Amino acid sequence: MEERSLHNPVLLDEVIDFLNPAPGDIIIDATVGGGGHAEEILRRISPGGTLVGIDRDAESLKLAQERLNPFQDSFKPINKNFRDIRKILEEIKAGKVNGILFDLGISSIHLETAERGFSIKNAGPLDMRMDRSQGISAEDLVNDLSEIELSSLIRDFGEERFHRRIAGAIVAARAKRRIKTTAELAEIISSRVPYRYRRQRIHPATRAFQALRIRVNDELASMEDALRASPGVLKEGGRVCVISFHSLEDRIAKNVFKEFAAKGVLRILTKKILRPREDETLTNPRARSAKLRVAERIA
């Protein structure tokens, strides 16, 4: 549903066209991840430009630094939550910027590392923390929330129609023993989803896993905080691009952009969401659910 590829940054051509990075520009990649978009942006803002690469996941940021080592003089890595985007720029004395990119969702770095606990297919501990220094994990939520709380969580953050069944199955299973792994949870969920839904392209546990991950990392609130702060750090004519991978993220981007447009602060450049071209989804299937919205600072 909402994945990013390390080697194939989603909607790269479209992002570059809208940001139009040039030598000397200051750009924020608020979700630098594996560094795919960042690498192309750095090529275009060098010499003299700066890319501020934010990621709350220290391990992802380290990998991005390795990939972007040829541009180390222009790349400024920041291991923080992007919701603090304004404070980050104040601390590094970067001033206002020419562009901001939010490439949301989950990266292949997380999915392919079983011990991070994000993947349904790769069995690992039930973790899902992007910042592993924080306290609450998916295991805590699964084993400690009430049945009603679990049901609401899976409904609200996963948009899962079988949220009540799934919550009931989790509570019944944990009464026997604590649920500790992604494989255990995926099996519990699959057992309670009607058979016909188990044979679809998307794994029947995908939406519940999404819900847990969003809650563990407070993703939607962080995203909204960062988007609301973005106009205040953009230069006039600066642009903000948001790549989302599910309706909850896209709805926030749409509504925040509309609100600032109504106030005369932003101009929406994508009247309709942009989706990846067919040739991109053929070579990078993870791109198929991506949506791009772009707005420009006008005052």
Q: Can you give the CATH number for the domain in which 51 is found?
A: 3.40.50.150
Who's near 245: CB < 8 A, 6+ residues apart? 1, 2, 3, 4, 104, 105, 289, 290, 291
Q: Tell me, yes or no, whether 144 and 100 share the same domain.
A: no
pLDDT attached to residue 185: 95
264 to 86, 154, 269, 298: CA distances (angstroms)? 20, 37, 14, 7
CATH number at residue 154: 1.10.150.170
Total domains, the chain: 2
Regions in the chain scoring below 70 on pLDDT: 1-7, 107-115, 117-118, 195-201
Who's near 12: CB < 8 A, 6+ residues apart? 36, 37, 40
Q: Tell me, yes or no, whether 93 and 139 share the same domain.
A: no
Rounded to whole angstroms, how far apart are CA atoms 86 and 92? 10
Q: Which of 216, 244, 278 is the last residue in one of the domains?
A: 216
pLDDT attached to residue 114: 58
pLDDT attached to residue 107: 65
DSSP state of 218: T
297 to 9, 75, 95, 260: CA distances (angstroms)? 25, 24, 15, 9
Nearest alpha carbon to residue 38 among 57, 63, 59, 58: 63
Q: Which of 171, 190, 216 is the last residue in one of the domains?
A: 216
pLDDT attached to residue 3: 40
Q: Which of 216, 241, 272 is the last residue in one of the domains?
A: 216
- Residues 292, 273: contact at Cβ < 8 Å? yes
pLDDT attached to residue 4: 42
Who's near 93: CB < 8 A, 6+ residues apart? none
Q: What is the pLDDT of residues 81-114, one digit of tens each?
A: 999 999 999 999 888 999 999 999 776 666 666 5
Q: What is the 3-state secondary structure (H, E, C) of 101-143?
A: EEECCEEHHHHCCHHHCCCCCCCCECCCCCCCCCCCCHHHHHH
Six-digit token string for 31: 């979700």
Rounded to whole angstroms, how far apart are CA atoms 156 and 196? 23
Strand 234-244 vs strand 106-107: parallel, antiparallel, or unpaired?
Answer: unpaired
Q: Tell me, yes or no, whether 281 and 210 share the same domain.
A: no
Find the domain containing 188 and state its range.
115-216
